Chain A
């Protein structure tokens, strides 16, 4: 998820700790807040809801992420990495991966793909995909019979969501990335309203009020998976574009692509229905790298 890039190799995040006038937060760098946040999610989720489903899964995901980061950083960059990034990636893979039939390979393979994608899928020394987003989407596309995402929904407990919302908002605010989270949420809500209006024209929705349809469409946003999306993946400092306006534009684009994916059930063909398994993740998977590539290309001439 996002905070891979809040490691020491993420200057934009580190530099983002700027206190606001009138209110001073303790001077904790954003990257530590992010890793603390993912740890909070993991501990609370595991304690109350067994979200990992077995500590061997966590061990495999986390161990692989750290090992691959160590090896690839040493071999390809000649330096020892700070492991906060791998720590967050490993945890994220462990939380999001819900494989079939007690399979364990998606955990180590997911972490391997996440970390190695940072070294392999690059443009001008920047990785284009959010590592966890790439890993999860790649596995969903290549191995759909073995893979699903976060089937556990934290008991559908709204109090947990409130806690995550509160802590997550503080974390992205401290990283000066709250505009991304806010613009996504606003875009999602607006587009959910539009979908509700579109569905109102369908005969099977006869008798549904707009508000009821809207409630159905907005429901996913209240789930735990979206907390991970809006506070980590979308706000990954290493995979977002450079300007605030650009970030907002890209975020809205992601919401728009997700909107399109969510309308696929209305299409006369079923070829893309696999995307319905995780619409926001696939939207980010598609839009994020293109936007970053264009941004990097525009920023400086190729070396």
Chain B
């Protein structure tokens, strides 16, 4: 029989051991972070900041708002850095469009000179001087061929009046906002092109963040903030614009069909994605909402949308960005939604959601460790960065980088923990002044470990930026069969990371061109069978946070020397099978008549 004093001693030892275990377990996250110098042989790729040598010299400047909210202006005005990758001049090389927000500052259109350098032609194209007092501040852009004439048109969403520009060719653009019926004041931070009714014309879904009743430069009240940190519903209205095609004036006309289709939300939507998540052939809408749960609006045969009950409603976080991808190579489109994490204060955790809709389920969040907690995460994108056949994740982070010694988290926590809408009034927020709020957070490059887990390799592959990242876009900037990375930083520089991948890693690309479908084939889904895997990707008219990727789809195929087949499901509903498409090249595929 063991004596009680001995048992007590044993209990004390176990107690101390438990405390030691907590300390040890707390460090396990850091063991999923690779360190060391960038070396291509380690993970099969390396990223190099080539912004300067590419001639990219762009710096985002935030907008200045009404002085009556000066105490929280760094918080409120902390958006507007955006990036879109798009072949604006149709030469087969991807160009870049970046927004800034301060009045008088100019957006940039970087034309790809095909020699590793870019040239800012925004002024010439009439796309630079778009941040004007009384009209609004740019928040982001989405490009698409909305009139199916073979070139890329531009929609710029703002806090203020959004603008629609028709591409007339030769880098000339015409503002057709009013003629198209899109002249409306919104405080928007996201928009996405989709063809919800499969009529071959791209429609536009625009999300309101702050209520559209607010002019943030001429406020009549300081009660402009969310009414809950978890389930806020007092944000701006979202709008679905239906493309009616060209009118008598030759300009595409749009009508507001939000109410008729039932896809409004006032949940402070920050990011949008459109894809056929439930496999019924109709593009659905996925909303990442700040201060609230995500939402999936299922498209019911192009007639209306239904808010789906698929396991998203109870999980209230701060959705900042939504990317669509296939993390497990199971041929299904899942999502990655970023959220906020701060050690000691708040672990909302990012959501890596597997799509189980076709199994009668919903979306299952499987994010853990380095995937779940990236800091104050903003834009993120799926993409096979090392061409190993698995889609990785690139996440940019950081909210306000100011004084490194002064932190606003505690101050924010005071009102965040309160009840009864105290925080809806900015007057009740402590002054931010020069304090940081999740500042100086590094970007994360999360390498997909064969669908099982992710390893943070940012430092080990050369992604060392610590700016306040907002938008990230992926695209093959120099047509080399790799995904390069472009990052728009709030109050910071535009960064271009050139990606160099081990040459033995295979790849295949698809540039889709619709006929019955919209010409950009936005909404088309390609499912590739290679080796033992099946990976699905979709052509998107905007994704992540305030960003748009290269419309061409890029698949890494690792060591596979051949591809079994590619199945294309066009937005029109047609299905096309490409048997054994040749790897190592970009395939231009036109929709069969």
- Physical interaction between A and B: yes
A interface residue numbers (CB < 8 A to B): 49-50, 72, 75-76, 78, 98-103, 105-106, 109, 112-113, 116-117, 119-120, 138-140, 142-148, 151-158, 160-161, 199, 204-205, 207-208, 212, 215-217, 219-220, 222-226, 265, 270, 273-274, 276-277
Distance in Å: Cβ of A236 to nearest Cβ of chain B: 20
Please, how many angstroms separate the alpha-carbon atoms of A140 and B342 in the complex?
13
Inter-subunit contact A277/B417 (CB<8 Å): no
Q: B218 at the A/B interface (Cβ < 8 Å)?
A: no
Q: How far is the CB of A175 from chain B (nearest CB, A)?
A: 25
Contact in complex: A220, B230 (CB < 8 Å): no
Contact A156 B230 (CB under 8 A): yes
Known contacts A98-B347, A153-B417, A157-B419; is-contact A205 B431 (Cβ 8 Å) = yes
Assembled-state Cα–Cα distance A233/B420 (Å): 24
Instruction: Output the least CB separation between B89 and chain A (Å).
Output: 44
Q: List 28 A-B contacts (CB under 8 A).
A: A75-B11, A76-B4, A78-B4, A100-B373, A101-B341, A101-B347, A101-B367, A101-B372, A101-B373, A102-B369, A105-B25, A116-B14, A120-B11, A120-B12, A142-B22, A144-B343, A146-B29, A147-B344, A148-B344, A152-B230, A155-B231, A156-B228, A156-B420, A161-B419, A204-B433, A220-B417, A220-B418, A274-B344
Contact assessment for A153 and B18 in the assembled complex, using a CB-CB cutoff below 8 Å: no
Residue of A nearest to B433 (CB): A204
A120 and B15 form a contact (CB under 8 A):
yes
A18 to B390, CA, bound (A): 68
Q: Identify the 6 closest CB pairs spanning chains A and B, nearest first.
A: A219-B418, A101-B372, A143-B26, A223-B417, A158-B420, A277-B344
Establish whether residues A139 and B22, one from each chain, have CB atoms under 8 Å apart when the complex forms: yes
Rounded to whole angstroms, the CA-CA distance of A53 and B373 in the bound complex is 16
A101-B373, A212-B427 are contacts. A148–B347 as well, Cβ < 8 Å?
yes
Assuming A98-B347, A151-B346, is B8 touching A119 (CB within 8 A)? Answer: yes
Nearest-Cβ distance from residue B345 to partner chain A, whole angstroms: 6
CB of A220 within 8 A of CB of B26, answer no
Q: Are B419 and A223 in contact (CB under 8 A)?
A: yes
Q: Kindly specify which of B114-122, B251-259, B407-415 makes contact with the partner chain.
A: B407-415
Contacts of B231 in A (CB 8 A): 49, 155
Q: Which residues in B have some Cβ–Cβ distance to A below 8 Å?
A: 4, 7-8, 11-12, 14-15, 18-19, 21-23, 25-27, 29-30, 71, 227-231, 314-316, 341-349, 365, 367-373, 405-407, 409-411, 413-423, 427-431, 433
Contact B19 A265 (CB under 8 A): no
Number of CB contacts from chain A to chain B under 8 A: 190
- Give, as a whole number of angstroms, the nearest-CB distance from B530 to chain A: 31
A265 and B11 in contact (CB under 8 A), knowing A99-B347, A101-B368? no
Contact B430 A146 (CB under 8 A): no
Please name all residues of chain A whose beta carbon is closer than 8 Å to the beta carbon of B433 when the two chains form the complex.
204
Shortest Cβ gap from A192 to chain B (Å): 10
Complex interface: chain B residues within 8 A of A222 (CB): 417-420, 422
A106 to B21, CA, bound (A): 10
Determine which residue in B7, B23, B26 has the highest number of CB atoms from chain A within 10 A of its CB, and name it.
B26
> Across the interface, which residues of A come within 8 angstroms of B315, CB to CB?
50
B22–A143 CB distance below 8 A: yes
Contact A215 B7 (CB under 8 A): no
Say whether B427 contacts A225, CB under 8 Å.
Answer: no
Chain B residues, CB < 8 A from A145? 26-27, 29-30, 343
Task: Specify which of A72, A139, A220, A277 is in contact with B11 (CB 8 Å cutoff).
Answer: A72
Complex CA–CA separation, A41 to B151 (angstroms): 58
Across the interface, do A76 and B7 meet the contact criterion of CB distance under 8 Å? yes
Q: Which residues of A contact B427 (CB under 8 A)?
A: 208, 212
Would you give the shortest CB distance from A226 to chain B, in whole angstroms?
8
Q: List 4 other contacts, CB 8 Å, given A50-B316, A138-B19, A222-B420.
A: A100-B349, A116-B14, A223-B418, A270-B405
With a 10 A CB-CB cut-off, give which of B25, B369, B405, B423 has the most chain A CB atoms: B25
Note all chain A residues with C-beta closer than 8 A to B228: 155-157
Find A75's partner among B7, B21, B344, B420 (CB 8 Å cutoff): B7
- Decide: A142 near B23, CB < 8 A? Known: A76-B11, A158-B420, A219-B422: yes
Docked complex Cα distance between A205 and B428 (Å) = 11
Q: Which residues of B contact A217 (CB under 8 A)?
A: 414
A281 to B347, CA, bound (A): 18
Q: Is A146 within 8 A of B26, CB to CB?
A: yes
Instruction: Indicate if the CB atoms of B345 and A216 lie closer than 8 Å.
Output: no
- Cβ of A274 to closest chain B Cβ, rounded Å: 6
In the complex, A222→B429 CA distance in Å?
15
B372 nearest in chain A by CB position: A101
Q: Could you tell me if B431 and A204 are in contact, using CB atoms closer than 8 angstroms? A: yes
- Does B419 contact A116, Cβ atoms closer than 8 Å? no
| Cβ contact within 8 Å between A76 and B23 | no
B345, B349, B417, B433, most chain A CB atoms within 10 A: B417
Determine whether the beta carbon of B18 is less than 8 Å from that of A116.
yes
Beta-carbon contact of B417 and A225 below 8 Å: yes
Across the interface, which residues of A come within 8 angstroms of B415, CB to CB? 216, 219
Instruction: State whether A265 touches B230 (Cβ < 8 A).
Output: no
B22 touches A158 (CB 8 A): no
A138 to B420, CA, bound (A): 31
Q: Which residues of the partner chain B approach A98 to less than 8 Å between Cβ atoms? A: 346-347
Cα distance A27–B420 when bound, in Å?
35
A282 to chain B, nearest CB (A): 11
| A61-B240 Cα distance, complex, nearest whole Å | 46
A185 to B152, CA, bound (A): 62
| Given A75-B7, A113-B19, residue A156 in contact with residue B419 (CB < 8 A) | yes
- Chain B nearest Cβ from A136, distance in angstroms: 12
Residues of A within 8 A of B372 (CB): 100-102
A226 cross-chain contacts in B, Cβ below 8 A? 417
